[in-house]
Structure 1
């Protein structure tokens, strides 16, 4: 299994390409913007996209969904908690900002990731956990055997997700981090929605929000 990252959009969101063993089958996580760049990564690396998966539905994580979905004719997966966020700019955070065009996704998700624990999409198996707080439907994808997790905006290097947005909750966020992230092996790599990857141990040792 291989993981590529591409930083997209004005808020520098990390779009991830999780590549399997068979036929370069690839899940695209959080195509937030810059669809042409995403397509270029697919072409240059000879990838075969099979699904789009959202860690959550804030605007900076969904901006290129329509173009990528249409280009490769692949299904979209997300939490049903945020299903209305795809079409409502006020919910996804892109509405009401001067000089910013509202961002929406044309069609609803094809599948909803609502059952926590062991989960499978195609050849990809992982442990799915719901960690609300930054947004109510935030999901974390834990690949225990491979030693990494895709965590969206739940936790960052030296920080945690903002909770001052509508429907945010610092208490819920910290509870989820302590329950699902910190018990992972210390060398587990955390691939975050913004910024550089980190490890569980690094955050235990130095993240001021965890003390």
Structure 2
């Protein structure tokens, strides 16, 4: 086996399933050796997500929410019936699981998520599965409980905090423009330049690209 082939086999598995009316990115992130995986932001179309898990022969260990908006959470209960693994979210966004206004926005009955979270995430927490570890950073601004998940030396799952050439909207309840700018500038832009950024909507990018090209946050220097 060549060194290049060996490196490719060591790379984590990243499967993106774009779901729902807002085209939200649900991610399956898995260890290539053990096939243990996390399900990040299962927002809709549970059957498609479950089909992909089975197709890739993954073993889900956790469901993780980067935040609690309806387009990121509405498939949790259906997936939990098949994979009853621990559910993790920041405590500040737990109320969004049962928020009547959010349910009305997407034409559903509250609660949007019936099950209760098993893990309340905070800054610095880690979630390990197979050979991989995700580190939690709290990045409020889009929502009070927004988080990003870092997997060094590979990638960061940025939820709706940082997008390809964009940032999360802050005009919804709980949003704060100054907070999201601070979260990105002080917590994401200090990360390694070559980390891939997998966002809650849109295409992938890198930390370096956004520092250089994102029009919303100007990096001095």
Q: So what's the TM-score if we normalise by structure 1? A: 0.92
Which residue number in structure 2 is paired with residue 48 of structure 1?
Answer: 59
Aligned partners of 2:103 and 2:109 also within 8 Å? yes
Which residue number in structure 2 is paired with residue 35 of structure 1?
Answer: 46
Aligned partners of 2:18 and 2:24 also within 8 Å? yes
Deviation at 1:204, TM superposition (A): 1.4
Which residue number in structure 1 is paired with residue 168 of structure 2?
Answer: 161
Q: Does 1:94 align with 2:85?
A: no
Deviation at 1:21, TM superposition (A): 4.0
Structure 2 unpaired stretches of 5+: 1-11
1:177 to 150, 171, 184: 184
Deviation at 1:85, TM superposition (A): 1.3
Measure, in 2, the Cα distance between the counterparts of 1:210 and 1:174.
Answer: 7
Measure, in 2, the Cα distance between the counterparts of 1:132 and 1:36.
Answer: 31
Aligned partners of 2:37 and 2:129 also within 8 Å? no
Aligned partners of 2:153 and 2:195 also within 8 Å? no
Measure, in 1, the Cα distance between the counterparts of 2:214 and 2:44.
Answer: 29
Aligned partners of 2:42 and 2:75 also within 8 Å? yes
Q: So what's the TM-score if we normalise by structure 2? A: 0.88
Larger radius of gyration: 2
Measure, in 2, the Cα distance between the counterparts of 1:191 and 1:102.
Answer: 30
User: Cα distance 1:89–1:22, how it changes in 2: closer, same or farther (>3 A)?
Assistant: farther
Structure 1 unpaired stretches of 5+: none
Q: How many residues align?
A: 205
Give the RMSD, CA atoms, in angstroms: 1.5
Deviation at 1:22, TM superposition (A): 4.7
Instruction: State the Cα deviation string for residues 95-114 of structure 1 (Å, max 9, x = none).
Output: 2x3x7224610111011112
Measure, in 2, the Cα distance between the counterparts of 1:113 and 1:2.
Answer: 23
Measure, in 1, the Cα distance between the counterparts of 2:159 and 2:80.
Answer: 20
Which residue number in structure 2 is paired with residue 105 of structure 1?
Answer: 113
